[in-house]
Each structure stands twice: as C-alpha cells, then as structure tokens.
Amino acid sequence: DKLVYIWDAATGELKRKLEGHERGVRTMCFSPANKLLITGGFDYQLFIWNPYVGKAIHTIKGHLAPIIKIESLGPGTGQVVSADTDGCIKTWDLTNYSCLQTIFVDEMPQLRSVAAVLKHKRIVCAGRKLLAFDFERTGVPEESDDHPLIKALYNAKLRIFMTAGGNHVRIWDASTGELKHSIQHKGGHEITDFCIDDRGRKLFVSDHAGNIAVYNASTGYYLRTLTKHRAEVSGLVYCPGDRCLLSVSWDKSLVVHDEGSEGSLATPKVWRRIANAHAGDITCCAYSRRLGLIATGSTDRIVVVWSYEKMKRVAELFGHQAEPTCLRILEPFPLLCSADQLGQVFLW
C-alpha cells in the first residue's frame, strides 16, 4: 500500500507512518552509522528517512527496474548496496548520497535477491544460480591496505602519496585522499622496498625473491626487470642525475643498475657491483650525489661508507649494538644519521 510503518517492538504500538512512495515498497534496511532508514520498491527510487521524525530527507534515483534488496555494508561504513530485478547493483555513500560503484550482473537474466556477507567482504547474488563478488578497496576505505604497510613516500612535485603492502603499490592523491592507481607487483612475491625516479615517471619495486621490477608510475604498466639478486632485496635508492638505481640485498651485495631506456625491454646492464660488501646481510643504504658516497648497514652491526665512483671502502663506523635499520645522509651537511633495532640513533 506504498506505506512504511514503524512499531515499538516491545509494546506493539504503532509509532509513526512514513508516506512518500508512489508504488509498493519491497525492501528496506537501517544504516546504524547514519541512523537512517532506506526503503525501495516498484517506483525505482531509494527513499532516505529519518525514522525518529518520520520524514523523507532525500530520494535517490538511478535504478531502472524495481528494487528488490537493500543491504548495509557494515555498522561503521555509512554505505549501502541496492539491487534491482534487471541485475543492476549499486553502492551508495549515505553521507553525500553519491553512487560509488555500479555492477551489472549479466550472468543472471533476472536477479531475485542480494546478500552482503560482511565477514568475508563479499556480495552474493541469487537468481537461478548463486554468484559472488569479492570486495576490492576503493579510494575511501577505512584502511589503506589489507596488509601491513612497509613504506610510504610523498612526492611534492606530483602531489601524491605512495604506499606499499603485500604485493601492491598504491598511489594516492594528496589533496583529496582518493586512490589513483593500484599497481600489482609482477611475480606475486611480497614487496620489500620501492622508490621512484626524479621525474616521477618510473616506479622501482623489489621483493623477497630478489627481483627488481620497473613500472610506469602513472599507468602501472610493467616496463622491465633489472638484474636479480640471489636473496631478498632490503633497500632501493634512486640516484638522481645519473639515471641509476642502487640496490642492496641479503646476499651481501651492493649493485648500481642502469635504469634502462624508455623503449628497451631488455634487462639493463649493471654499472658497478660489490659482492660480500659485509660479513652479514645488508639491511639498509643511503646515497649522496653531492658527496659521491654510499652508506650501507648490516646485521654485522657495522656501517660502511663507500665511494660511489670507484666502489671502494672509505670508512667503517662502529658503535651500534644491534643491526642498523635506517640510514640517512643529512644534505647539504656532510653528516650521516643511522638508527638500529634497539632504538638508538647515531650521528656521524
């Protein structure tokens, strides 16, 4: 009868009647995050109600068939999913009533129902068969990744943030916080480090298997693979001005790679390499073009300074009682800062 009634569940008393639908109501749901009631039916529209005052505060148009199901995507999200008989599923943000995503279930000529399985982040569609859609993160998730983040970078020139977790690198708009790109690392191994070139065009990604891959930072397109290490790559540093990439690894080697030309798919050559640079696994590195120096730290608890041009040992720095985890050359000063697993910070 096009009406929605709200009852007191304890006493059975009718509290209020909601009027506004032009045709029969078929489905409804309550959004705890916004404290809103959403209804839909044969008039193809979603009605948004404040159930405490009994007024429709908004109507959402977008469906072209009777709405058969509305589901909340969780008590804290403020988002709902609506589905119609033609197999059109839409995700809505109730804070601004915008449509976040539209899915057309072409596999089902007539959709009967939809259920949101929040525990498994999945939407299940029912018709003559069952079909499931798994959730993938958009630009406004509660968390930026499903995996622990291993690194985050800010590029002031491009006004973007870059984060890495699992086998993905995600690029975020620093002004809006929206996800611009999600780049999946080739090979499926978990990422250990990443960096970009000085123009912001190339993204270099290393992993646990010793691989170093190069991607287009704007599109995520895979470009090439650099010379592989024999063990996990623990650090990457781009050398601006020289078009080189510095990598260190648990195989105890320090390598300077040619980043390769834009049109070449061949593996670029190695300019310089030091094998057995430390007695232990190399854990971190730093580089200064102005000073012409490279610094590396290792599980042997020693920080070594190298000449960039000749790859000769310049100095060995002793003092850490645990393995160094981070190195930074404090440009423009001739100072090196190192930190270790015990939380100690040294200035050299």
**For the residues of 78-91, what is the DSSP string, one character each?**
-EEEEEETTSEEEE
Indicate whether 173 belongs to any domain: yes
CATH number of the domain bearing residue 94: 2.130.10.10
Indicate whether 140 belongs to any domain: no
Q: Determine whether 73 is exposed, middle or buried from the number of CB atoms within 10 Å of its CB (0-12, 13-18, 19+).
A: buried
Pairwise CA distance, residues 93 & 170, whole Å? 22
Q: What's the chain's average pLDDT?
A: 88
Q: Total structural domains in the chain?
A: 2
pLDDT of residue 127: 87
Is 83 in the same domain as 227? no
Residue 319: closest CA among 333, 302, 335: 302
Is 72 in the same domain as 11? yes
Is 55 in the same domain as 194? no
Indicate whether 320 belongs to any domain: yes
Is 183 in the same domain as 329? yes
Q: What per-residue string of b and e applies to 162-196 under the rule 16 or more CB within 10 Å gives b?
A: bbbbbbbbbbbeeeeeebbbebebeeebbbbbbbb
Contacts of 181-190 spanning 24+ positions with Cβ under 8 A? 181/218, 181/219, 181/220, 182/137, 182/220, 183/215, 183/220, 184/220, 185/213, 186/211, 186/213, 186/222, 186/225, 187/211, 187/213, 190/147, 190/166
Is 74 in the same domain as 178? no
Is 210 in the same domain as 289? yes
Do residues 329 and 291 touch, judged by C-beta distance below 8 A?
A: yes
Strand partners, 306: 294, 313
Pairwise CA distance, residues 244 & 259, whole Å? 5
Strand partners, 133: 123
Query: pLDDT tens for residues 48-103?
Result: 998 888 778 899 998 999 999 999 988 878 889 999 998 889 999 888 888 888 88
- Please state which of the ranges 39-48, 201-210, 265-274 shows the lowest mean pLDDT: 265-274
Tokens 């988002």 label which residue? 79
Indicate whether 141 belongs to any domain: no
Structure tokens at 205: 């990604």
Pairwise CA distance, residues 87 & 292, whole Å? 62
Residue 135 has pLDDT above 60, yes or no: yes
Query: pLDDT tens for residues 224-265?
Result: 889 999 999 999 999 988 889 999 999 999 999 988 655 455
Do residues 27 and 8 touch, judged by C-beta distance below 8 A?
A: no
Q: Which of these three, 99, 134, 169, is where a domain ends?
A: 134
* Cα atoms found within 13 Å of the Cα of residue 279, Cβ hemisphere only: 6
Indicate whether 330 belongs to any domain: yes
Neighbouring C-beta atoms of residue 303, cutoff 10 Å: 25
Domain hosting 160: range is: 149-347
Q: Which of these three, 77, 111, 134, is where a domain ends?
A: 134
Is 258 in the same domain as 182? yes
Is 129 in the same domain as 177? no
pTM: 0.60
